[in-house]
Structure formats: structure tokens, C-alpha cells
Structure 1
Amino acid sequence: MCKKVISLLLIPFLIFYVQPISAAEKEEKGWQDESIYFIMVDRFNNGEPKNDFNVDPENLKEYNGGDLEGIIKRLDYIQKMGFTAIWLTPVIDNEQGGYHGYWTNDYFKVEEHFGSMKDMKRLVKEAHKRDMKVLLDFVGNHTGYKHPWLKDPAKMDWFHENVPILGEDQTSVENGWLAGLPDLNVENPDVKKFLIDNAKWWIKQTDVDGFRLDAVKHVPKAFWNDFSKEVKAFKKDFFLIGEVYHNDPTYIAEYEATGIDAFLNFPYQREITTAFSKPNVSAERLFNQWKRDERFYQNPYLLGTYLDNHDLKRFTRVAKENKQHPPTRLRLALTYLFTSPGIPIMYYGTEIALDGGEDPDNRRLMDFKTDEDFLKYISKLGELRNDLPALRRGTFEMLYDENGMSVFKRVYKDEVIITAINNTDKTQTVELTHEQLEGNKELRGLLQDDLVRDDNGYKLVIDREQANVYALAEKSGLNIGFIGSIAAVIILFITFLLLAKRRGTKRAS
């Protein structure tokens, strides 16, 4: 009797609580669906003190102690923020002082300060267990300043003549020595073969998912064309994202013809910093950057969008120079970053508003003591992007923009998402019309609790320096079925108690 009653009690909950979630059709995941956490290996986390050779945490021009083991120990931390991939600065063996990884010494060895190839393999394996991808930085333009090849008579033609880069002349950009680093002559078939074979070796050894290609514009397009073709044939779905350091999207987009899949969006970084590092600034220029990207790139959704990187002054520093509170500014900027088109890339430390000026000050040691509310905010943004296809694949339309108050719409299939960012010093009210949004529905706040019903339009009220993300949904009301089920549960429970009491009374008599 008891078991039967309990079964009856469970029925309403099974009916009304275990309902299928209405979501977009399951689609094959692509790189436009990823979000990347960018790590400078030496500056992130010291997981194995045994490899701390001549480490000096007080000197930003020396090794500070971060390693591969430290990253492995923090993978859950990274994933909890919603990131689905990590990008590592070069892990390859570097000459003395090359803590950053860009002064290659031995092409077939992991930097001893970071660990071993065994550690590198384990890192990739642990990331893949969590369904996270791994990108390695690949340097094809130059070697370290004191590379052994420079003293090898048989390899004299492996380098271009030692002359500095002069202006924007493309031949000089490709053949000159960047920051005095020995420039590899990739037109030499032996050099080209060596670099491509080395790239394949790292893929085979580590099973990484892609490369971030360093200094792309300093290497002829013909090399990248062959490199892309061979590397992609070596591993299916291998991803290449290139660093073409330039503020003209037409210049960057020219490299798409080489087979490189995506590029870091330098113009976007400039505009998002301008728009959100202080209040009362319009986001129109930033939005217009997207319209340009749509025109110039085959797939602008693959562009890597970001606030910070290891070569630029951190966003926190810019906000401070503008006499602003960095976490407030970062909340708004990160809201735009995670809800606008592109692959969001967050540089380690942004989640703690890490300060930093020019290189190497922008490469300070990570500190995991963070503001929990700020971290939760970032994690919520990551969760929304992962859960809502419209934030990864949807169209992008500006509905309102005035003096820093902006409202954007993303649409993908039947999903409509609204992002409202109040980058002003006053509470703002924005009314969206039925021409902009379908009527007789409601906007449900996803980032902050809010519910906006259609009243001949939708009235959004956003507090100063705050943001929200809304989903357009059917109007909610009293759920008669649900209320009825609760009533039924109560009646059944009372009936069960009465029957149990009566049965106990009979037994006692």
C-alpha cells in the first residue's frame, strides 16, 4: 500500500518537472562555438617546484615558476568559468631569458622550466577528458637570438640578411629581423620542410587541436599556404588562428587565402577598449567594426575577439588611467565580448582585474585570490554563451545606441537574445517596438533577474554601469496544470496519512 501511494505522489513531479528542454537542434560543434582562455605558461601557476631552475618571481624579465603541471591543476577552475579551450604561449625549449617562449632554442624539446613532453601529453589528455581543446603557439618566423644554427656554416642560407624592418614595405616586413630576432628564410625548401615537419611532430606527440600562428605577416603567404595545406591534411579538423598584427581588416583578411582559418581581431580590441574603458562612450564604432568584418572575411564568426593579450597594456590599466574602477568597466566589456560575434579569448588574470602596463608589466604572476562575485559574473557569461546558440552563431543587430546605452539583438533560428549594456552614469530606460521585437511575448533576464512583458512594446530599465542579457519567450502566467498537480500531491499525501493511521489503529486493536 505504502509503495503504491509513494508512486502516485511522484507522478505529478515526473510530469511537470522532468520535461524536455526546448532548445535549438543539436548541431555539430565548430570553433565558432568555443571560448578560449589564454595562458602565459610561466606566469600562471607553479605546480611543480622541482623545475624551478634560476627562478625569480620578483623579476618580470626572468622565469617566475609557472609550468604545465600548474595548468593541469587549474583546468577545472578554467572550465568552471565556461571556457572550452586553452591557448598556451610556446612550450618549446627556449634560450636563456625566454620565459615567454618566443626565443626558440630546441625545436624538439619542451622547455625544462615548464616540465617534460610527458607533462605536455598529460595536459592535453586531461583537457580532452573535460571536452576542452588545446592550442599551442607556433613560431615560424624566427629563432632565438643565439640559436646554434647561426654558427653552423651549412645553415647560413637558413636566415635572411641581418637588417631591421623598415616601415610598412611588405618585403622588409617579411625579411627583416623582428626586434633583432634571426629571421628564417622560409623560401629555402629545407627551412620550409623543417618547420612543417616540426609542426606535424608536435601534433603527433601531443595530440593538440590547433596552433596560434605567431607573427604571420612577417612570413610570406606562400609558406602559410603550404603549411596550412599539409598540417590540415595531417590531422582532421586542425584549427589555425593567425596573428596578423594590423588595424586594417582588409590587410588581415588577405591572409584567408593561405588556408589559415581565423585571425586575432586587433581592430576589435582597439574599439572595445575605447568603448568600455570609461563611461558615456557610444558603442557605435565597435558595432560598425562588425559590419566591416562581415564584408571582408569569409567567416567573421571565427575571428578571435579579446580585451587583453601579452603584447598590449591590460584593459585594467587603461581603465585606471581613465580614473575608473576596473571591475565595473570589465563587467561591461566582458558582457559585450561574450555576447557579440567571434571567438572570445580571455587572457589569464582578467578574471581578477590584473593590472599591467607595457610588456613585461602585462605579464605579472597570476593570483588566484579573486572577488567571488566578479568570478561568478564571468562564469555566468560563459554559461550563457555555451547554452545559447544565438550568442555563438546568430545575426547581430543594433537596436539602440545613445551616449553609451546600447541594445543589441542576436537571432539564430527561433532563438532571440537581447543584450542591454548601460555604459552611462545614470539609470537608462529604452523602449523596444514591435518592429524590433515580436509582440505579445516577454523578455526574461538571464544575467540579472528581470522580466519585461509586452505592453505595446518592451520597456527596459537598466541601472547605471550595469548590463543584462534577455531571452525573448512566450508569456508566462499561472500554470493551472502545475497548481493542480501540487493540489493533487497534497490530497494524496493526506489520504496516505489517513490510511496509514487507520491501518495502525486496526493493528493496535
Structure 2
Amino acid sequence: MHLCLAFWGLLAHLSTSLARTPDEWRGRSTYQVITDRFARSDGNVTAPCDVTKNEYCGGTWKGIEQKLDYIYNMGFNAIWISPITKNTPTGYHGYYQTDLYTLNENFGTEKDLKDLSDALHERDMYLMVDVVTNHFGSVESDPNIDYSQYYPFNNASYFHPYCEIDYDNQTSAEICWLYSNLPDVRTEDQNVVNAYSTWISQLVANYSIDGIRIDSVKDVDKASMPPFCEAAGVYCLGELSNNDPSYSYPYQSVLNGGGIINYPLYFSFNETFVYKGFSSTEKLAYNIYLDRNNSIDSNLHGTFTENHDNPRIPFHNPDIALAANAIAWTILTDGIPIIYQGQEQHLAGGDDPGCREAMWLAENGSYDDTTLLYNTTAYLNQIRTWAVQHSEGYTHYENVVLNYSEDQIAIRKDVVRFILTFAGVDQPQGTYTTVDAGFPPNSSVVDLISCKTYTSNGAGEVTADIGGGAMVIMMQADFIQGSEMCGY
């Protein structure tokens, strides 16, 4: 049933003061959830889920609500869920929508979604919802698509004629179809822009949404994004899978000061992890520099190392130390951290759809909060949260690469200095002396991983023990007083 537009409009008016700005998202740490694959309402942890089939496995909004403590206890204060609109029978992921104004009944009811939103806000957690403006979905392919099934764009005039995308041509990317069953919306049409703007303002209002992740931003008309984000009135995070910093980062300007899913850093970081070598570490360091210099604000991008579209790190390399260092990178570096469901359980799925495993079937047992990576994630979020709450500059400070080698990279992020290693658990024990760390001379510095205390030398540098794949995360001892970390 379509909801009364007047009622939607009233809610939009009433909720304006609740809109969450990009600035309010800076200190957030986000857990990404595929609604259909995270948790079931009935709590069933043996229900089958074949990732090779495009079918629903039973995850719901109520299931997410019931497992919020699992997420909250890892230190996350925001979640990102799948698109919530009605989809085709194969649209378990949410990206094959057919009706903007009807919820996906496979995920639950309007009350279930509102209950999830309320439960999040009671914990001071934000809700980010995935939205799609580029295309609709169909069980048929062109030319057999029935456009009358769509709402509100219920005839072919709202869509581009079918053509295959040439990604070397921006016009082609914006007007051609991702697949032959995904009709591409005419986002350059002002009537379409107006309809999308009305819809998103009402959606945000009705479900008290704090942020939106926008799918396939590079495939829509750029001019449609500013009014869309303005109508949403919340933080916009745009997705474009491109490894070119000069192409990707300027998109921040059309997202009303929001950010992008940081694929340039994702590609360079994973190249360093998977292929390991000085040249790739050098490229990672250079891409950090490009992020700082090409972004309006690098701390508003979404930082990630795993997601629902790409192979997981353990698929390439099962080394547990690499997985822990990847999580440390995600949480401590510039941007808003995004940890993908199951990353804390060391899931090892391959490329889409292999990386879309059901959480309740995890090998470690369903929702195991005792695993190394679960507790590592919780501790890293604790470190970041302390820095956010006790340093005014942390969420504005942009990464500085202090030094790097074939196996390591050292970074300063305001009050935090961290050294990550790509050598894995077999890394030999040794020491690492910082370069340009900037600690006060002769001050006490704590490695929050080993809890060892060091004294900086007269130049403010520290020689720390490192090995076995462990990262080093250093803060001044006086800064962490009262944190309960390492006995302080």
C-alpha cells in the first residue's frame, strides 16, 4: 500500500531538526549489514543460505534489532543497511527496486523498520540506509521489460533506451545500463529529479534516517546529486568503484559536502595486502597524499577494506594478522570507518555473490563475541572513540605518512601514531624507530596493543618492539589517563 503523501510531507516537516549533518558523522564508526544475510527474526542459526543463488535467505530488520548488542558491543555507533524499497523476487540485496514507496516485505513491516530506527537511537547509534537512483530492476531483460510495474516511474519515457556501458566515456556511464535487466533512469530529467527529491525527503523523515549511502553515483547525472542530497538533509555517502583519485574524490563536491566510498584507498591498500611489496606500499602512501590533496575533506569519506561487492581479504590470504591489521587501518585512518558484517568473524567469501554469506552460518559459530577479530575490532573502536572524544582535532586531522617499507607503514593521525605490518604472523621480532612522530621529548608513550611504555628520545621519537604481525598503536600516557586502556 502506498503511504499518503500528505502524511509523508508532515513528517518531513517535523523531522527537519533531527537531520544529521556530515560534520556529525565524523566521529561515527559504521557496521555494514546486508539485511537479508545478517539475522532472522526467528533466531534460526541453521537456516540454509546458498550464496550462489539469487534468493532471499530470511534476514530481517527485526533480526538486526535483536542483534544490536552484538554490533554495539564492538563499539560501533552507526549501521548501514541494504536498500529498503520493494524489489524483484531476486533482489535479496535490495538493488533491483520496483517501487520507491513500498517497503520490501521480505525484510519486515513499516513498524519493524521504525522499531529498528528507534532501537538504534536509544543507543545513540545512527541509521544509514542504502538508496538507488540510477536504475530499477526487472526479472526480464530488454526489450521485454514491463515498465508499468514501476512506481512512480511507470513508463519507458522515464528511462534511457538500452545500451552497453563504455566506462571510458562518462556520458555512456550515465545513460547506459549496468545490465540488460536494470533499466537506467533518466536522472538528467528535472521531473525525475523532483520525484526523487520528494521521495528521499519523505523516506528520511518517516524512518528517522541519519545518513544515506547512494549506489552507483558515477552512473547518474552529476547535476541530480546536489538537489537529491539537499532534499535528504542528511550525510550523503556516494559509491563509485573507481581507483583513480583524480576522478573519484571530486565527486565529494556534488554530494553536498558528504563523502565517497573510498575505493582509491581500498584498491591501493588491498594491493599492498594481497601482492605485498615496496612498490605497492609506496603507492598506498602516495594515494594517502592524493586523498588529502584532492578531497574537500578526507575525513568524510567511507573507509573500508571489505564490502558486499568484492572478495574478502581472507579469500586471498587467510593470515589472521593481516585481517587484524586491515581492521586497524579501517578504524584508525582518515574517514568514517566501515566494517562489513562478518569481517570480525574472518569470513573468507570470494567475489560477489561469494562475499554475501549468511552471518548465522559463520564457521566460528553464530555471532561469536569471543573471537580474536571481534575483540580486536571492539578495542580499536575504543581507541578511536577515546581520541574522538578527547581531541578536538582528531576528526579533522588528515593522515600523515611518517615512513614506510616493504612490510610496514607508519602513520600519524593527530594524537595517534600507528604502525601496521603486511608481513603477517611470521614477521620476525624486532624494533621500529619512528620518524617525525612528533612526541614531546622525553615523554611517556604507551603502545596500546602490547601495553608497553616507552620514553621518547630528545627528538620525540620512539623505538618500539614489533613482530608476529602485531600492529603498534601509540599515544602519550598522559592523554589516555582515565581511559581504562592498559591500566590507565
- TM-score of the pair, normalised by structure 2: 0.82
**2:33 aligned with 1:47:** no
Name the counterpart of 2:334: 341
The 3 A distance-change label for structure 1 pair 342 and 183 is same
Name the counterpart of 1:380: 379
**2:293 aligned with 1:290:** no
Of 400, 403, 408, which aligns to 1:400? 403
Of 228, 253, 257, which aligns to 2:253? 257
Q: Distance in 2 between matches of 1:392 and 1:275?
A: 25
**2:169 aligned with 1:169:** yes
* Aligned-pair CA distance for 1:58: 3.1
Gaps of 5+ in 1: 1-27, 233-237, 477-509
Please say if residues 440 and 475 of structure 1, whose CA atoms lie closer than 8 Å, have aligned partners that are also in contact.
Answer: no
Please say if residues 136 and 212 of structure 1, whose CA atoms lie closer than 8 Å, have aligned partners that are also in contact.
Answer: yes
* Aligned-pair CA distance for 1:101: 0.5
Name the counterpart of 1:100: 93
Q: Distance in 2 between matches of 1:356 and 1:162?
A: 32
Q: Distance in 2 between matches of 1:138 and 1:308?
A: 20
* Aligned-pair CA distance for 1:474: 5.3
Please say if residues 278 and 329 of structure 1, whose CA atoms lie closer than 8 Å, have aligned partners that are also in contact.
Answer: no
Please say if residues 68 and 123 of structure 1, whose CA atoms lie closer than 8 Å, have aligned partners that are also in contact.
Answer: yes
Alignment of 1:87-486 (within 5 A): 87-146=80-139, 149-150=147-148, 155-180=155-180, 181-232=182-233, 238-260=234-256, 261-277=258-274, 283-320=281-318, 325=319, 327-366=320-359, 367=362, 368-370=366-368, 371-389=370-388, 392-411=395-414, 416-424=415-423, 425-432=427-434, 436-454=438-456, 457-473=461-477
Q: Distance in 2 between matches of 1:443 and 1:252?
A: 37
Q: Distance in 2 between matches of 1:227 and 1:203?
A: 12
The 3 A distance-change label for structure 1 pair 336 and 151 is closer
Q: Distance in 2 between matches of 1:475 and 1:206?
A: 39
Q: Distance in 1 between matches of 2:444 and 2:100?
A: 57
Please say if residues 268 and 289 of structure 1, whose CA atoms lie closer than 8 Å, have aligned partners that are also in contact.
Answer: yes
Q: Distance in 2 between matches of 1:68 and 1:343?
A: 23
Q: Distance in 1 between matches of 2:183 and 2:209?
A: 27
Q: Distance in 2 between matches of 1:448 and 1:71?
A: 34
Residues 81-120 of structure 1: CA deviation (Å, up to 9, x unaligned): 1111100111211111110101112211221111011100
Residues 249-299 of structure 1: CA deviation (Å, up to 9, x unaligned): 221233233234110010111122122346665633222211101111111
The 3 A distance-change label for structure 1 pair 470 and 182 is same
SS in 2 for 1:393: coil
The 3 A distance-change label for structure 1 pair 460 and 92 is same
Q: Distance in 2 between matches of 1:365 and 1:151?
A: 30
Q: Distance in 1 between matches of 2:128 and 2:478?
A: 41
Give the aligned CA root-mean-square deviation in angstroms.
2.5
Q: Distance in 2 between matches of 1:408 and 1:162?
A: 47
Q: Distance in 2 between matches of 1:109 and 1:201?
A: 12
Of 23, 30, 33, which aligns to 2:27? 33
Single out whichever of 333-342 and 295-304 deviates more from structure 2: 333-342
Please say if residues 83 and 129 of structure 2, whose CA atoms lie closer than 8 Å, have aligned partners that are also in contact.
Answer: yes
Single out whichever of 357-366 and 401-410 deviates more from structure 2: 401-410
For the pair shown, which has the larger CA radius of gyration, 1 or 2? Answer: 1
Q: Distance in 2 between matches of 1:302 and 1:196?
A: 23
* Aligned-pair CA distance for 1:432: 3.6
Please say if residues 299 and 335 of structure 2, whose CA atoms lie closer than 8 Å, have aligned partners that are also in contact.
Answer: yes
The 3 A distance-change label for structure 1 pair 273 and 173 is same
SS in 2 for 1:346: strand
Residues 37-84 of structure 1: CA deviation (Å, up to 9, x unaligned): 00010000112489xxxx962354211111101100111111111111
Q: Which amino acid is 1:420 matched to?
A: I
Gaps of 5+ in 2: 1-21, 140-144, 481-488
Please say if residues 422 and 462 of structure 1, whose CA atoms lie closer than 8 Å, have aligned partners that are also in contact.
Answer: no
Q: Distance in 2 between matches of 1:438 and 1:200?
A: 49
For this pair of structures, how many residues does the alignment match? Answer: 431
Q: Distance in 1 between matches of 2:154 and 2:451?
A: 68
Alignment of 1:6-85 (within 5 A): 30-48=24-42, 57-58=49-50, 60-85=53-78
Q: Which amino acid is 2:159 matched to?
A: F
Name the counterpart of 2:11: none
* Aligned-pair CA distance for 1:198: 1.4
Q: Which amino acid is 1:472 matched to?
A: Q
The 3 A distance-change label for structure 1 pair 378 and 161 is same
Residues 170-215 of structure 1: CA deviation (Å, up to 9, x unaligned): 1111111111211111233332222221112211210111110011
* Aligned-pair CA distance for 1:475: 11
SS in 1 for 2:118: helix
Name the counterpart of 1:497: none
The 3 A distance-change label for structure 1 pair 106 and 154 is closer
Single out whichever of 111-120 and 146-155 deviates more from structure 2: 146-155
Residues 286-335 of structure 1: CA deviation (Å, up to 9, x unaligned): 22211101111111111111011111111111214xxxx2x221111111
Q: Which amino acid is 2:209 matched to?
A: V
SS in 2 for 1:179: coil
Give the share of equivalent positions with the same residue, in percent.
Answer: 27
Q: Which amino acid is 1:168 matched to?
A: D
- TM-score of the pair, normalised by structure 1: 0.79
Please say if residues 439 and 456 of structure 2, whose CA atoms lie closer than 8 Å, have aligned partners that are also in contact.
Answer: no
Single out whichever of 77-86 and 251-260 deviates more from structure 2: 251-260
The structure richer in helix per residue is 1
Q: Which amino acid is 2:217 matched to?
A: V
The 3 A distance-change label for structure 1 pair 439 and 125 is same
* Aligned-pair CA distance for 1:148: 5.2
The 3 A distance-change label for structure 1 pair 179 and 241 is same
Q: Distance in 1 between matches of 2:421 and 2:50?
A: 40
Please say if residues 380 and 447 of structure 1, whose CA atoms lie closer than 8 Å, have aligned partners that are also in contact.
Answer: no
Q: Which amino acid is 1:396 matched to?
A: N
Please say if residues 279 and 423 of structure 1, whose CA atoms lie closer than 8 Å, have aligned partners that are also in contact.
Answer: yes
